[in-house]
């Protein structure tokens, strides 16, 4: 049984590709991997590629100084792009009817690391440090104070599926009529904890991540933020369905059978009231790790078959962890917003082209690919997190 869709009314986005919609879109469609740049300051003795945001970030006002950290700066930069729509919603509905539900996996860990290093050298934490920078709940509280929203306010932290689960939670709040609009999405910033953690798992790529290749060897980590204003309105880009599952196979490895991934994709399609043949494009989780790509290709082949156009956008921005599901939903949003008649431009799958014969075959998008769609277009986006916390989203829009 399908659920009532909701509208992703406005989008704010910042990644290593940029912070302006046009810039991000142009570089996304061009398959521009130059935004992944070498850094030697995150892992002792090693230089690896990271998706670092270089666009100017919004400054946190002095009144909110306890929330001052890079993670919140990324979120604020994304928020500024939807501020006018949020202000209009506040005027229409009142503050108590506007909620904030967002995801993160790092919060302000990078700033906390710097503060703890200073304490180790001087014996004291810097005056600029506050626990609100580090707490997971700090992100949602910060956005609530910035926006003036007065409805439910909380942060989800389910690793790489957090941003997608936040959007599903936002839709649920709207369906239950607890609120009339939700600021929802995710933000994540680079820090030594995650860089070294993935390095110890031997999950970082030696160069550019190479999803679905026989030579794939791991991920590039990135940072960024994507925020939507989610409403019950019709028209525009809709969140048609969302599926969640938990395979609980292993703390960091996916279930090799792909059953958890399959379950959340099927649930998302069912909620959207769509069959597999309705999906024009799939944004793969596509991490470029040996285990994820084997599992995901198997699950996708079972659910959608080998003919659905798909690509991983992580070679362009890195794996943005808790923000990845929201950012990749934003890429689907941009695809639908830039529809050209009966055609959609699709982000190319950037890899070395060395097919792994062990993987189930997929229709990986080549540069310049245009997808034919009918009066309505539907896109699917996958996110699979540590611990088997899986999420899939279906976004769609009708021809204007």
Per-residue model confidence as pLDDT tens digits over 79-98: 999 999 999 999 999 999 99
> 6-398, what's its fold?
Peroxisomal Thiolase; Chain A, domain 1 (3.40.47)
Average pLDDT, rounded, for the chain? 95
**Which tens digit of pLDDT belongs to each residue from 181-214?**
999 999 999 999 999 999 999 999 999 999 999 9
Q: How many CA atoms lie within 13 A of 290 on its CB side?
A: 7
Report yes or no: 394 and 336 within 8 Å, Cβ to Cβ: no
The helix/strand count (H/E) of the chain reads as 12, 16
Distances (CA, A) of 105 to 135, 138, 155, 381: 10, 12, 10, 19
Listed residue (322, 58, 14, 11) closest to 184, CA to CA: 11
> Would the pLDDT of 392 be above 80?
yes
Q: Say whether 319 is catalytic.
A: yes
Q: Give the model's pLDDT for residue 2.
A: 54
Helical packing angle, 21-30 and 324-337, nearest 10°: 90
Report yes or no: 107 and 134 within 8 Å, Cβ to Cβ: yes
Q: Give the model's pLDDT for residue 332.
A: 98
Q: What percent of the chain has pLDDT over 70?
A: 100
d(CA 310, CA 290): 18
Report yes or no: 80 and 12 within 8 Å, Cβ to Cβ: yes
**Which tens digit of pLDDT belongs to each residue from 113-165?**
999 999 999 999 999 999 888 898 999 999 999 999 999 999 999 999 999 99
Question: How does DSSP classify residue 104?
Answer: -
**Which tens digit of pLDDT belongs to each residue from 330-340?**
999 999 999 99
Q: Say whether 202 is catalytic.
A: no
> Would the pLDDT of 65 be above 80?
yes
> Would the pLDDT of 1 be above 50?
no
Alpha carbon dihedral 208, 209, 212, 218, in 10-degree steps, equals 130
Choose the catalytic residue: 160, 264, 310, 350. Answer: 160
Choose the catalytic residue: 69, 179, 285, 350. Answer: 285
Q: What is the mean pLDDT of the segment spanning 244-262?
A: 86
Q: What is the mean pLDDT of the segment spanning 163-187?
A: 97
> Would the pLDDT of 302 be above 50?
yes
The CA-CA-CA angle for residues 100, 54, 161, to 5°, reads: 40
Helix (H, G, I), strand (E, B) or coil at 254: coil
> Would the pLDDT of 388 be above 90?
no
CA of residue 269 relative to chain centroid, distance: 19
Q: Give the model's pLDDT for residue 399.
A: 83
Per-domain residue ranges of the chain: 6-398
Choose the catalytic residue: 153, 179, 319, 391. Answer: 319
Q: Give the model's pLDDT for residue 134.
A: 86
Q: Say whether 285 is catalytic.
A: yes
């Amino acid at each position: 049984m399908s659920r009532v869709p909701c509208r992703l009314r406005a989008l704010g986005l910042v990644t290593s590709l940029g912070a302006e919609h046009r810039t991000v879109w142009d570089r996304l469609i061009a398959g521009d991997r130059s935004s992944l740049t070498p850094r030697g300051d995150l892992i002792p003795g090693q230089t690896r590629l990271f998706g670092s945001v270089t666009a100017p970030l919004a400054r946190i006002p002095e009144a909110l100084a306890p929330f001052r950290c890079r993670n919140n700066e990324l979120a604020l930069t994304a928020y500024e792009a939807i501020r006018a729509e949020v202000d209009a919603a506040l005027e229409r509905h009142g503050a108590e009817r506007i909620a904030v539900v967002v995801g993160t996996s790092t919060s302000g860990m990078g700033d906390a690391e710097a503060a703890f290093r200073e304490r180790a050298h001087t014996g004291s934490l810097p005056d600029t440090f506050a626990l609100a920078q580090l707490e997971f709940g700090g992100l949602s509280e910060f956005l609530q104070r910035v926006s003036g929203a007065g409805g439910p306010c909380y942060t989800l932290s389910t690793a790489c599926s957090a941003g997608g689960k936040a959007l599903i939670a936002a839709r649920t709040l709207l369906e239950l009529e607890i609120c009339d609009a939700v600021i929802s999405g995710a933000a994540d910033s680079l820090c030594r904890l995650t860089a070294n953690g993935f390095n110890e798992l031997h999950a970082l790529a030696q160069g550019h991540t190479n999803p679905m290749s026989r030579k794939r060897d791991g991920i590039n980590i990135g940072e960024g933020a994507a925020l939507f204003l989610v409403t019950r309105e019709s028209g525009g880009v809709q969140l048609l369905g969302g599926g969640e599952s938990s395979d609980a196979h292993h703390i960091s490895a996916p279930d090799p059978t792909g059953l958890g991934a399959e379950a959340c994709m099927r649930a998302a399609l069912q909620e959207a009231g769509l069959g597999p043949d309705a999906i024009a494009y799939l944004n793969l989780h596509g991490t470029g790790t040996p285990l994820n790509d084997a599992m995901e290709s198997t699950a996708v082949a079972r659910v959608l078959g080998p003919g659905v156009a798909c690509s991983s956008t992580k070679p362009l921005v890195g794996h943005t962890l808790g923000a990845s599901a929201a950012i990749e939903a934003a890429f689907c949003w941009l695809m639908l917003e830039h529809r050209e008649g009966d055609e959609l431009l699709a982000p190319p799958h950037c890899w070395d082209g060395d097919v792994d014969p062990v993987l189930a075959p997929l229709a990986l998008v080549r540069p310049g690919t245009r997808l034919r769609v009918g009066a309505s277009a539907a896109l699917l986006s996958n996110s699979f997190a540590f611990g088997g916390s899986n999420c899939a989203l279906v976004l769609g829009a009708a021809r204007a």
